[in-house]
């Protein structure tokens, strides 16, 4: 199975490539969890955002502990597979 990739443009105009770990819907919000496959202190750098599936230019940061808890739960489930 081929890994899904995501390309984003940073604030300096550089194109960055990420690997998508998961996409899911929770409380009527679409979440995406992705990584640049780099590590910090033996932990994989992982990022998450809320996105609009009808407009791929609209991304929101996670702002609540509940949102991060949901993402962490999904990542643990992925690890267990």
For Cα atoms 21, 70, 19, give the angle at the middle one, nearest 5 degrees. Answer: 10
28 in the Ramachandran plot: left (φ > 0), alpha (ψ -120 to 50) or beta? left
pLDDT in tens, 36-78: 999 999 999 999 999 998 998 889 999 999 999 999 988 888 7
- What is the Cα–Cα distance from 18 to 34, expressed in whole angstroms? 6
Say how many domains are in the chain.
1
pLDDT at 1 over 60: no
Residue 23 has a pLDDT of 92
Instruction: Output the pLDDT for position 33.
Output: 94
**If we measure between CA atoms, which residue out of 70, 79, 8 comes closest to residue 43?**
79
Q: Return d(Cα 81, Cα 78) in angstroms, integer.
A: 5
Look up the domain containing 30 and give its range: 5-80
Digit-coded pLDDT (tens) for 5-32 = 999 888 899 999 999 999 999 889 999 9
């Amino acid at each position: 199975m081929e890994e899904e990739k995501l390309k984003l443009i940073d604030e300096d105009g550089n194109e960055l490539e990420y690997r998508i770990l998961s996409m899911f819907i929770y409380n009527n919000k679409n979440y995406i969890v992705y990584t640049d496959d780099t590590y910090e202190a033996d932990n994989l750098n992982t990022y998450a955002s809320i996105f609009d599936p009808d407009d791929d230019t609209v991304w929101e940061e996670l702002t609540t502990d509940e949102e991060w808890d949901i993402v962490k739960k999904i990542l643990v489930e992925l690890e267990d597979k």
